[in-house]
Amino acid sequence: MKDTAKGASPVRERLKELVERSGLKQAEIARRIGVDRNWVNQRITGAVKVIPADDLPLLALAIGCHPCDFFEDRPQARETSIADVVARELSEGWDELPEPERELISGLVELRRRYREQALTQEGA
Task: Judge if 52 and 112 occupy the same domain.
Answer: no
Q: Distance between CA atoms of 6 and 119, rounded to whole angstroms? A: 52
Task: Judge if 2 and 13 occupy the same domain.
Answer: yes
7 pLDDT higher than 50: yes
The parent domain of residue 29 ranges over 1-80
Task: Judge if 51 and 111 occupy the same domain.
Answer: no
DSSP state of 23: T
Query: What would the pLDDT profile of 59-70 be if each residue is shown by its tens digit?
Result: 999 998 888 888
Q: What is the pTM of this model?
A: 0.55
Task: Judge if 90 and 45 occupy the same domain.
Answer: no
Task: Judge if 6 and 57 occupy the same domain.
Answer: yes
pLDDT at 79: 54
Q: Distance between CA atoms of 88 and 64, rounded to whole angstroms? A: 12
pLDDT at 6: 52
Of the two residues 54 and 82, the one the predictor is more confident about is 54
pLDDT at 80: 62
Query: What would the pLDDT profile of 73-125 be if each residue is shown by its tens digit?
Result: 554 545 566 777 777 777 777 888 889 888 888 888 888 888 888 888 877 76
**Do 23 and 65 contact (CB within 8 A), yes or no?**
no
38 pLDDT higher than 80: yes
Q: Which residues contact 104 (CB under 8 A, 6 or more apart)?
A: none
Q: What total number of domains does the chain contain?
A: 2
Q: Distance between CA atoms of 51 and 49, rounded to whole angstroms? A: 7
Q: Distance between CA atoms of 114 and 111, rounded to whole angstroms? A: 5
pLDDT at 2: 45
pLDDT at 1: 44
Task: Judge if 71 and 30 occupy the same domain.
Answer: yes
Task: Judge if 72 and 13 occupy the same domain.
Answer: yes
What mean pLDDT is predicted for residues 56-60? 93
